[in-house]
Structure 1
Amino acid sequence: MPAWTRVVGVFDLETTGVDVTCDRIVTAHVGILDAAGAVLTARDWLADPGVPIPEAAAAIHGITTERARAYGRPARDVIQEVVETLRGILDAGIPVVAYNAPYDFSLLKHEAIRHGVEPILSPAPVIDPLVVDKAYDRWRRGKRTLTVVAQHYAVRLEDAHQASSDAVAAGRVAQALAGRFAPWLPDTAQELHTWQIGWARAQAASLTDYFVQIGRLDPSDRLDGSWPIR
């Protein structure tokens, strides 16, 4: 097993929507797993995002506007603490696992800027199981949602779309990927981080070509392959 699997950070957000520039954080989880995937530390947040939570989003993660307003903490306080906690893990050289990392890290960046918190602009090292899985099992049929990929690698995911459950499952999927593809993976998280930058760019280019081919994208449009933050 690569050395980075011995201790990994995990990070996930549940939000008001999917637009990283405009939508807001509702819940967040940051934790640390050991080599066996057991939880060493865990921290959860519920924020009052300051805007109504759309019914479609509440139906996914279960947090309504009323609940967030009644029990959520001020958004700025939550964002400050999430940023500080992640920064502490990264500064310690511990990789942070985030499934579809550009979504969570980009949304957190825009939230930080919105609330006057110093943002994390270049998180590293980051492990993104979505990118790694696509790189090493490119032609596997089916969806690549966390639920489906966790099942494929025999990782239990209970309470999907709860930030804590998704974060821990993503960390365990990253460790399962490391076990499955160990002979081809670099030993250090920083090397893997660098490899993922290129993989994500290539994956976005390939998906762009496919979407153009089926008429879903105009040939002049391109998907953003920036990773791990946009």
Structure 2
Amino acid sequence: MADGGAARIGGTPMTWHLGRLCAFDLETTGVDTETDRIVTAAVHALGGRETSEGHEWLADPRIEIPAEATAVHGITTERARMDGDPADMVADQVAAFLAVQARDGVPIVGHNVPFDLTLLDRELRRYELPTLDERLGDRPLHAIDTRVLDQHAIPYRKRPSEEQGARQLITLAQVYGLPWDAEAAHGCSYDALVAARIAYRIGQLAHMRRSDWPEHIRGERRVRFHAFRDLTLAELHERQIELAGEQAAGLQKHFRKTDPNAVVDGAWPLRPWVEPTAAEGAPA
């Protein structure tokens, strides 16, 4: 893509949030990116004045889906085994769709991107399939992470309640004026599309005058949307690498007040693969 990642319409450069976006989300058997598996996946290419294109997959993860995971996304082991496609086929097709978008310069958008991209990477390795990096070759992957952007833009937001965190997807939807369907939430397509719409709203605010912001945004402490103004996709990507590292370091410092050994991984947008020893073997 020309201009270091700057999207164009009709030959005219435009800001990053107005171009094509590729919304991506996984629902899984758990939260361990090294050992858990894909249950459902969604990838939706949208925006940029082009026709939207989306795909959703249900996989048979080949392991039991814990009750705690089913409580989140609603997919049981029995349903996945009966209706799901083979896990290796799903991982391959998801990666293929993402690679096509990334090769066209479209950024991958999600909420907490390292979780989804890392878990997908480990699934591909588990089934000895080409990773996303291998599929891209020398083409860069650009990502937009609504969690990273939001935490920098409004750093001092308090959690809305004891049950709802300050950086949860539902909280961001509420802050950025988007409707929230509690029944549809945690469906991978729903979450992916909400994340893309949040990214768009953050981009809008970054390119608006402060005086035009909604009152509840202006009322927040130390608001910093303009840090994302007039950036190319490549510049926005690099900025998020820095911010994710800073945010992880801050959280680790907080955790170490009670646990001196706490570690928070700040790698973004993908946690590096560590080749297992012979005793450890490949991903389980």
* TM-score exceeds 0.5: yes
Equivalent AA in structure 1 for residue 237 of structure 2 = H
Q: Could you tell me how far 1:106 is from its partner in structure 2? A: 0.3
User: In 2 relative to 1, CA 124–68 (structure 1 residues): closer, same or farther, beyond 3 Å?
Assistant: same
Give deviations 1:176-206, integer Å, cap 9, x for gaps.
0011122432431111000000000000000
Determine the structure 2 residue equivalent to 1:184.
Answer: 227
Determine the structure 2 residue equivalent to 1:33.
Answer: 46
Equivalent AA in structure 1 for residue 241 of structure 2 = I
Pairing 1:61-210 to 2, within 5 Å after superposition: 61-121=73-133, 124-142=141-159, 143-158=166-181, 159-182=184-207, 183-185=226-228, 186-210=230-254
Unaligned runs of 5+ in 2: 1-13, 160-165, 208-225, 272-284
Q: Are the aligned partners of 2:17 and 2:204 in contact in 1 as well (CA < 8 Å)?
A: no
What SS does structure 2 have at the residue aligned with 1:33? strand
Q: Could you tell me how far 1:4 is from its partner in structure 2? A: 4.3
User: In 2 relative to 1, CA 48–39 (structure 1 residues): closer, same or farther, beyond 3 Å?
Assistant: farther
| Aligned Cα root-mean-square deviation (Å) | 1.7
Give every structure 1 segment of 4 or more consecutive aligned residues whose post-TM-superposition deviation is greater than 6 Å: none
Unaligned runs of 5+ in 1: none
The TM-score, its normalising length taken from structure 2, stands at: 0.76
Q: Could you tell me how far 1:212 is from its partner in structure 2? A: 1.2
Q: Aligned residues, how many?
A: 226
Q: State, as a whole percentage, how many aligned pairs show the same letter.
A: 39
CA distance in 2, matches of 1:111, 1:156: 33
Equivalent AA in structure 2 for residue 141 of structure 1 = K
The TM-score, its normalising length taken from structure 1, stands at: 0.93
